[in-house]
Structure 1
């Protein structure tokens, strides 16, 4: 860790491991030509070691490893050649950014806001399960107006527990998990900053704080103290319009529950285009990590007003 007036830069202890010890699985020359064949004992043994290294980094220091580490882990103990090839690709991607670091900004409590980012990929994991990803960010309150300091506090990639029948349902379940994670972090920050905070009164405390916050939710003109970022237009529209809609009644109920949970923490929903989705790479074996790397490299983020983005 490197502490300066500009903030705390957390450098990965995984850096030396990525550079020197996290190596790819070695194949016999002809093996890659049969990607649907089962991996042999040597490839599985090597793969377990590599997967363990990815998992270790993904849990603590390398959010860019979280997606492939989670998805490929589900293929063991009987991975295919293609699974091991994808594992190698994940290692090579990490090795291109061995010195990745996470910046924690010194934001005054009066300007500090928390938010969640969630994404999902439908039926792209083992047994046609869907993969969800969630992140929690801490940012300066003017994020919706200018490029502002933003710190990544938490990330996760994992299979969505329920079997879902659509991309919308997968995105909804992932957002539900993200809202729960955001709520936990908001309570934790409140406990640190507010000496009189009592956990049993967390709903009332977070709602009361909402009157002091001034982040505008463009969807309804109200003031919000937190944001939840998604890239699914259908989910965004269902959450920001006064309708239950949709043929999937189970998912409609889940959306209503999310609405209630958002109201409890006085949070709004914001939409970003897929190319700006920080959590995209956490839902795939080889996802788009550009926005994630940009956030980690610069320590900043900005969200553009939805209407102008959706017209493009």
Structure 2
């Protein structure tokens, strides 16, 4: 999986390659720490390239700030990095997160975020990789009214392997989290997601939602989604679920009875997973690139 030419343009980007950092965004820079302030009308691209050694990046979003971020992992070597986000009170962050990883050895990425009072973090997450990934996400909703929305599309085929541990901690009253995972595995690929939500005692009025949907395109492929809720308070709302399997015969029959071919029916069902993430990127060139990677994946696996 080669790095696309347009990602090599450093304009408007914060680029991390190993210990080297090139910052061409409006973020204030101090060593490995960055602070986004004010209101940004244009997305800032944060690109993590081919990290060999352990690397930590700390990013703070100032109180009342509004930021649009594209967090992009690209590389063909083993990566082991940790990203720490801190959202100050009333900060708003809308982020498109993309993994374009290609390595036979495991790439490890840990994302840790703290979300302050009345702050909001939204992540639309697209993972299209070749090889092995180990991902972990830990979210701490530490201020009253903090919100987290995280939606993932993960496409894998062949020898691809990935495991992910997602944890959300509700540590203040009236906090809200919603995690939606859309997983596609074909041609022997294996995906494992563990999704956990914790609402601590006394954190009244909080809501924790988890949803996991998976499409499996052959008997050799595997998707495992394990949702967990740990609730220590009565006055809250919590729900979780997982629906994983192959496209049902009833779905295919219905669509084909409306005049679609088998190929067209499969493409339509897949588009329901894919299109929302392409739209969330908010950039035609990025969207086209993601779509081309997904198409190559599913065609190579003989899905469509």
- TM-score normalized with structure 2 length: 0.28
Higher normalized helix content (fraction of residues): 1
Higher normalized strand content (fraction of residues): 2
Bigger RCO (CA 8 Å, 6+ sep):
1
- TM-score normalized with structure 1 length: 0.28
